[in-house]
Structure 1
């Protein structure tokens, strides 16, 4: 008489409870978890159980009944109530013999388990056949989908992972096949990186929006932030506003647009379909929730990245400082990695004569000049007041000297001079000792009049 799979499970539990003085539950597979759809005899049950977790997960994965006369001796037992002593868990199989869930019974009083095993297996077989006849286990609800995707967004380790999780969630929750994020960038609004959309519509949307350019994207984002979320009614024969014409050219007939993040910093999430549909307001609300969650996760990752950068960078010059420098020289390659110890000539006089603000301006100007004189891949660190170190990869010591001479020329163009000591790590030499030899070479330059380069002995 049951009209749904959930009703069939609830009536099975209710009927079985009349004869079995036990805690009874039926768990069915919903997406990637076992969901408890019917239960009785317990103060609390687990709403969902991850796969391979507990006796129920073991039975579901194996398709083999578990008879546990002493739950205290089974490490997989999930405690539901404190007085349980024994458990019988049987798989609920479809007519082809594939597990679709489990029927679980737990007793607190002495019980003969063998007869109950036979009864439970017969009931589970009939229940499995009835569930399949009714269309299979219940589908994942919208709230469950939202919870699953929110967890995926929260745990995403990188911005790309957040963007990928956001568009995947938008497709899944809205049931529309295409989703695209437009986010603010240094040169104006930009499309998020492709994340493997399931069909051609998403590719066409990207192509049309890319051709339309940042100005058109900006108008679309501004519209979403100014007026809020919007969606099409699925009524044919009505022209779109000009901002949406690129989407119509891509073949879009159904569109949900929701703002992402704050105006000026965030963007917009577009979810679309080629079919003429009428999204219900609840779907739009769910997409808005996802967009809000995605922005929170994206903003958190960006904040953490800024904090890490601040923690590893000199606040005055923006160069990396001693912590990252120590990690870099620890990976120095003997004979290839050159250390250039750099000291600003006469810097104390600048501070004493013109003040520390003038000294700071000198350091910032020199930092920019030295960075500009280095090659792609070379690294510059500030390790003290007016002390810098460049870490470069070279084939010969003479190459390191030439680069050091380029640095002295760049410093002269700022109106200052520097002294540079050059050292290449010896086999088996510690990074600290290499840096000490570079410093000694630097002091040799100072002794001979400054404004020059000296190579430490190999």
Structure 2
């Protein structure tokens, strides 16, 4: 192989490239004429090595995280790699099953800083040493040409949107999701402010503030916060009735009534995109105080972003509902054993009391009138006991006709008084209950406290039911 000829061919073509991507494609094409290998150039774009040009592979990786694979190792270290047996290298990223050897060298700018890598992979016998030298010389010329044209290509807006969509999909909370969505809206649109108006129980409301908003965004949020709910409703309804809209960046054109508050806040350019369904969604507003002219592509990207954000928000809400359903008794709506155990574990000795509650004669109700009557009794009793507790006290259903209340008290006598209130509340429903009271000792396991409360409950029942008994220390 005449390696000088390979180098001349690449050197002649590089000056004709008009963009960094074109320079990479011509380099790969020229090398492919002489070497039966997979050839790829990956450049640093945002936080990843992105494949800009490749040939000869059944598959190539579109983007590689920093320091991943041999290519990431070479880019991070700035030192080339010659791998005679890829199967023995733990960093090898498999592209095809027959690859045996790999040469990867950094592509540097004239100052010596890596801007990407040139990678060659073989599936047959090859003399690696001369190809390593040729690859390094080609990479040197390619790096110089890329730098002369302004460096690696910038991340496209669609690539930015894809990156932000990943962040929204993995957001663990509504707050994190809105933070990711608004950051995406600002970065992809290149406008300076973004806010969400979402439906709420009492009408449309502003989404939670995210990060430290800029000056315009602060003014927009203040204007919308002061606006009547009816005006926010009209703003949302307009977007859902007519679809996405945007300004043309022309001076002297008055805003519509719905947008007057935004104009007074300094907005001169606005993209308005509906979010979610008309009856429960909202609107995404992306704005700037400069007179700009957003193009339809920008609006389309904002619509894609709004759809992705709403899908992620619905996922979070569904998961929250499932968690709530899993932690609540389906009959009474009270928390059940799982959350009760966590509540006891967090109880403060000396200021917390456990009340074990049992319905007197419940089996007789089920046997005489049927389980539906028993269920109605439990629901009515649960509501009565909840109403008799104070703010901050909690009631749990732990079994068929068994309940536990966790209450905050300052003295055992206070716990007994609260238990007496529960007994009175049960009597008003036409039923009676027995209550055992126990206060956690310092360092006492939660299950031991509950056991003492149960023992006190049994003592109350043995004394004739419809009463309260305090566990002895």
Q: Is residue 423–residue 437 contact of structure 1 (8 Å, CA) maintained in 2?
A: yes
1:43-442 maps to which residues of 2 (within 5 A)? 43-196=58-211, 198-332=213-347, 337-345=352-360, 347=362, 360-412=375-427, 416-426=431-441, 430-442=445-457
* 428 and 27 in structure 1: CA distance in 2 versus 1, 3 angstrom threshold: same
Q: Give the SS at the match of 2:270.
A: strand
Q: Residues of 1 paired with 2:283 and 2:379: CA distance? A: 38
Rate the CA distance shift 1:403–1:74 in 2: closer, same or farther, 3 A: same
Shift of 1:304: 1.6
CA distance in 2, matches of 1:189, 1:355: 46
- Greater Cα offset, 342-351 or 436-445: 342-351
Once the two structures are overlaid, the 10-residue window that deviates more, 79-88 or 410-419, is 410-419
Q: 2:27 aligns with which of 1, 12, 22?
A: 12
CA shift at 1:112, angstroms?
A: 3.2
In the comparison of the two structures, how many residue pairs are matched? 458
Residue segments in structure 2 that go unaligned for 5+ positions in a row: 1-15
Structure 1's 201 and 415: CA in aligned 2 closer, same or farther, altered over 3 A?
farther
The CA deviation string for residues 424-448 of structure 1, in whole angstroms up to 9 with x for no partner, is 3456755444333322322333343
Q: Report the more deviating stretch, 59-68 or 316-325.
A: 316-325
Q: 1:357 to 1:21 in 2, by over 3 A?
A: closer
Equivalent residues of 1:35, 1:49 under 8 A apart: yes
Tell me the alpha carbon deviations over residues 314-346 of structure 1, each in whole angstroms, 9 at most, x when there is no partner: 123211112322343355555554220113345
- What does residue 6 of structure 2 align with? none
C-alpha displacement of 1:144: 1.9
Helix, strand or coil for the counterpart of 1:156?
coil
What is the TM-score normalised by the length of structure 2? 0.89
Matched position secondary structure for 2:91: coil
User: Residues 120, 374 of structure 1: CA spacing in aligned structure 2 closer, same or farther, 3 A cutoff?
Assistant: same
Q: Secondary structure at the match of 2:343?
A: helix
Unpaired runs of 5+ residues, structure 1, are: none
Aligned runs of 1:31-50 on 2, under 5 Å?
Answer: 31-50=46-65
Say whether the 8 Å CA contact 1:351–1:358 is kept in structure 2: yes
Once the two structures are overlaid, the 10-residue window that deviates more, 273-282 or 319-328, is: 319-328
Q: Output the CA distance in 2 between the equivalents of 1:42 and 1:248.
A: 54
Moved more, 307-316 or 421-430: 421-430
Q: Secondary structure at the match of 1:436?
A: helix
Deviations 1:115-173 (A, max 9, x none): 33232222212211211221211122233222222222211111112211111121122
Cα offset, 1:95, TM superposition: 2.4
Supply the distance in 2 between the matched residues of 1:22 and 1:213 (Cα, whole angstroms).
66
TM-score with structure 1 setting the length: 0.92
Alpha-carbon deviations, 1:18-37, whole Å to 9, x = none? 33343211000112211111
CA displacement, residues 393-441 of structure 1 (integer Å, 9 cap, x when unaligned): 4454333223323433444555654321101345675544433332232
Tell me the distance in 2 between the aligned counterparts of 1:228 and 1:148: 25
Task: Give the Å deviation of 1:192.
Answer: 0.6
Give me the whole-angstrom Cα distance separating, in 1, the residues matched to 2:133 and 2:213.
Answer: 46
**What secondary structure, in the 3-state scheme, does the structure 1 residue paired with 2:277 have?**
coil
CA distance in 2, matches of 1:360, 1:213: 45
Q: Residue 177 of structure 1 contacts residue 198 of structure 1 at CA under 8 Å; is this kept in 2?
A: no
Deviations 1:179-218 (A, max 9, x none): 1111111111110111125521111110000001322111
Q: Secondary structure at the match of 2:287?
A: strand
* Whole-angstrom distance in 2 between the partners of 1:323 and 1:425: 19
**Residue 445 of structure 1 corresponds to which residue in structure 2?**
460
Q: For the Cα contact (< 8 Å) 1:370–1:410, is it kept in 2?
A: yes
Indicate if the aligned counterparts of 1:397 and 1:424 stay in contact, CA closer than 8 A: yes
Alignment partner, residue 24 of structure 1: 39
